[in-house]
Chain A
Amino acid sequence: MEKKINEAEKKLERRNFLKKLAVISVAPIAFGFLGSGEKLMGLKKWALNNGYVPKDHKWGMGIDINKCIGCGRCADACKNENNVPREPFFFRTWVERYRIYDDGEVLVDSPNGSIDGFEVLSTKKKMERSFFVPKICNHCDNPPCVQVCPVGATFKSEDGVVLVDSDYCIGCRYCIQACPYGARFLHPVTRTAEKCTFCYQRITKDKLPVCVEVCPTQARVFGELNKKASPLVRFLRMNKIGILKPSLNTEPKVFYANLDMEVK
């Protein structure tokens, strides 16, 4: 009898031990899924305090390639407005020059992101067509960068703008790898991911993004996508529109008028 009780006790002990083992191994996993929703709240509070209601907006940008003259003022102004390092390796926006020759050769360049302008060319080859293309974060509606961020530091705000919370960013650079447009970089000082925010500090105060404001030819149009009276909706109505890398299904909210097939 005593032996039996002893055995039963041992069995119980073993069972308890295995139970504890299971709990210990599962605990950190269960713990993890509790807190990721909270991050958006901080931003929302800040915006609402400023009298800005994110869910009332849906922002986008239109860029007319025929109007861009490659002066680079947008890229320069962006660096000033957003404290982007001046070195030629970090850009929230830049302008590319395309030169397509009659033999089919395509040359693309963007020296210092266009800030210092472009060199004049001398070549005997005959140019077929040439144009400038401003580039910027596409604020994708289906953003691959947001999908891959391990800690949810980068997110799509309710107004459609893709932002980075540098307090959460651990600097793993996965988002930089996932962005098909090369629109992200790691800020060399803060060591966190950086990108265009449509000048969030300005648009939440009824101002235009600085690149739009300084553009001398109004090649860039900023506005609401869901409001009929917005200049952006007019832009989309009046032009033939293209987006970058449509096959990747990122659903960009930056729309190009007069986009050339060579632009990627």
Chain B
Amino acid sequence: MEELVQHLTPILKEITGYIFPNEVELHWGILIVLYPYLTGLVAGAFILASLVKVFNVKELQPTYRIAMLTALAFLIVAPLPLLGHLGHPEKSYEIFLTPNTTSAMAMFGFVYAWYLMAVLLLEIWFDYRRDIILWASKEKGIKKWIHKIVSLFSKDISEKAIRFDKKSVKIVTIIGIPSAFLLHGYVGFIFGSIKANPWWSSVLMPIVFLFSAIVSGIALVLIIYMVVTPLRSKPIQMDCLDKLASYLFYVMIIDFSLEALDFIHRIYESEESIKILSELVSGKLFVSLVVIQLLMGMLIPLASIAATKIFKAPSELKKMVYFIAAILVEIGIFTTRWNIVIGGQLFSKSLRGLTVYKMTFFGLEGFLAAIGILILPFIILFILMRLLPPWEEARNP
């Protein structure tokens, strides 16, 4: 309590205009920024992986398993920021036991469980089953047992069983695509359905969330592929990379158009909230929205990828451009989440004033915890890659 009061008291001096007294405490902080960012990466990586299975994009084959494992690693971490921010994390199971059916948030547990159990784990299991059984048969000691357990002690690798596996992967992927849309579209709905908040309340919100999620997922898989492949001293396949960059480019165009539409629509309708929102965008959000999200995270990557296409840049240059563009995109999408979550709380619902967000360094909802949560999926991904090598040559002939 004293800590909170010490944290809030200096904020009183930085408020401009009038905000309701209960609004001095900003309720959703950095952890709630992380949550849509992480689930977005999950949905994006999964949708990229589905392109291989459903639409038969052969060039992307080398990234299929990487994308699946990436989605899993990030999905495992996704609930952590939510738990960390709850006033009573020990009561979080109530969401499962007595969910309020009118609450978008109550659906979290079910959407999450469905996506983890019925989509991701199932698809990975069917896709890897044959390889795991073969690995287990050649290995010794603890690794053999881990693989045996992971394969759920199945042993059948007859042609028929393999055919069944392949069919299952396809079916799960087809179910998985709408599920991935659901997983992230629903996160957008959590914000978009709040009529009290004019910055959030928009029917476009779930769709904008979805496309920005696909953008961030493709960029992440591109980065991981470009970092991991040289580390294994293998050549990066240029056709795969080109394809990834092309998809990134196209989806970014859609994402950009949607955000532009939202922006134009707001200005054109010019509702009651327009004054305070313009003040917000031209003031406290200018750097994170206009400079980082729009210029660095969207326009520069778009222009640079377009330039490599137009001028037919040599491979080495293309690699560098793609890599830098993907990193800028990741930063850009992170600030997109920031601008939505934090930006939506910087103005008062009295529409008369602005407040500030002060992140703490230590503590459950502080900067360090956020960094930890961001690093954790990469550690999990490293372990997953050790247990279930996603490389082509690891597949048994």
Let me know if B290 is at the binding interface, CB within 8 A. no
A170 partner, pick from B94, B110, B122, B156, beta carbons under 8 A: B94
Given A28-B96, A32-B96, A174-B103, verify A180-B349 contact (CB < 8 Å): yes
Q: Interface size (A, Cβ < 8 Å)?
A: 64
The answer on a CB contact under 8 Å between B98 and A170 is no
Let me know if B62 is at the binding interface, CB within 8 A. no
Among B4-12, B41-49, B298-306, B320-328, the stretch that binds chain A is: B4-12
Closest to B154 in A: A17
The answer on a CB contact under 8 Å between A184 and B22 is yes
The answer on a CB contact under 8 Å between A39 and B87 is no
Docked CA distance A105–B164 (Å): 72
The answer on a CB contact under 8 Å between A29 and B110 is yes
Q: A108-145 toward B: CB 8 Å interface, digit per residue (1/0)?
A: 11101100000000000000000000010000000010
Shortest CB distance A124–B (Å): 21
Docked CA distance A220–B284 (Å): 38
Given A110-B18, A110-B21, A168-B94, verify A186-B197 contact (CB < 8 Å): no
Given A91-B22, A109-B18, A168-B98, verify A148-B104 contact (CB < 8 Å): yes
Closest to B27 in A: A173
Given A170-B87, A264-B350, verify A25-B27 contact (CB < 8 Å): no
Given A25-B114, A177-B28, A264-B350, verify A33-B101 contact (CB < 8 Å): yes
Given A148-B105, A150-B108, verify A170-B92 contact (CB < 8 Å): yes
The answer on a CB contact under 8 Å between A148 and B103 is yes
Docked CA distance A87–B24 (Å): 11
Shortest CB distance B295–A (Å): 29
Given A35-B97, A150-B106, A192-B87, verify A89-B24 contact (CB < 8 Å): yes
Docked CA distance A53–B130 (Å): 66
The answer on a CB contact under 8 Å between A173 and B28 is yes
Q: Which chain A positions have C-beta within 8 A of B12?
A: 88
Q: Which chain B positions have C-beta within 8 A of A168?
A: 91, 94, 98
Let me know if A259 is at the binding interface, CB within 8 A. no
Q: Interface size (B, Cβ < 8 Å)?
A: 59
Let me know if B262 is at the binding interface, CB within 8 A. no
Docked CA distance A87–B92 (Å): 28
Closest to A186 in B: B87
Let me know if A191 is at the binding interface, CB within 8 A. yes
A25 partner, pick from B94, B101, B113, beta carbons under 8 A: B113
The answer on a CB contact under 8 Å between A36 and B105 is no
The answer on a CB contact under 8 Å between A14 and B28 is no
Q: B99-120 toward A: CB 8 Å interface, digit per residue (1/0)?
A: 1111111101110011001100
Given A28-B96, A178-B194, verify A185-B110 contact (CB < 8 Å): no
A94 partner, pick from B21, B85, B348, beta carbons under 8 A: B21
Let me know if B51 is at the binding interface, CB within 8 A. no
Let me know if B352 is at the binding interface, CB within 8 A. yes
Q: Which chain B positions have C-beta within 8 A of A24?
A: 117
Docked CA distance A151–B88 (Å): 12
Given A108-B350, A171-B86, A177-B194, verify A182-B103 contact (CB < 8 Å): no
Closest to A145 in B: B196
Q: Which chain A positions have C-beta within 8 A of B117?
A: 24-25
Q: Which chain A positions have C-beta within 8 A of B91?
A: 151, 168-170
B100 partner, pick from A38, A152, A186, beta carbons under 8 A: A152
Closest to B22 in A: A185
The answer on a CB contact under 8 Å between A182 and B349 is yes
Let me know if A46 is at the binding interface, CB within 8 A. no
B194 partner, pick from A108, A148, A149, A188, beta carbons under 8 A: A148
Shortest CB distance B382–A (Å): 28
The answer on a CB contact under 8 Å between B99 and A36 is yes
Q: Which residues of B in the span 45-100 have a Cβ within 8 Å of any Cβ on A?
A: 82, 85-89, 91-92, 94-100
Docked CA distance A44–B109 (Å): 29
A149 partner, pick from B100, B195, B196, beta carbons under 8 A: B100
**A binding-site residues for B, Cβ under 8 Å:** 10, 14, 21, 24-25, 28-29, 31-33, 35-36, 38-39, 85, 87-91, 94, 96, 106-110, 112-113, 135, 144, 146-153, 168-174, 176-186, 188-192, 248, 264
Other A-B contacts than A31-B96, A36-B99, A248-B195, 4 sampled, CB-CB below 8 A, are: A170-B87, A171-B87, A172-B85, A180-B349
**B binding-site residues for A, Cβ under 8 Å:** 1, 4-5, 8, 12, 17-25, 27-28, 82, 85-89, 91-92, 94-106, 108-110, 113-114, 117-118, 122, 156, 164, 190, 193-197, 345, 348-352
Can you list 8 A-B contacts with CB-CB less than 8 angstroms, sorted by A residue number?
A108-B17, A174-B190, A182-B348, A182-B349, A183-B22, A186-B87, A189-B1, A248-B196
Q: Which 3 residue pairs across A and B have the least CB separation, nearest first? A: A171-B87, A182-B20, A191-B87
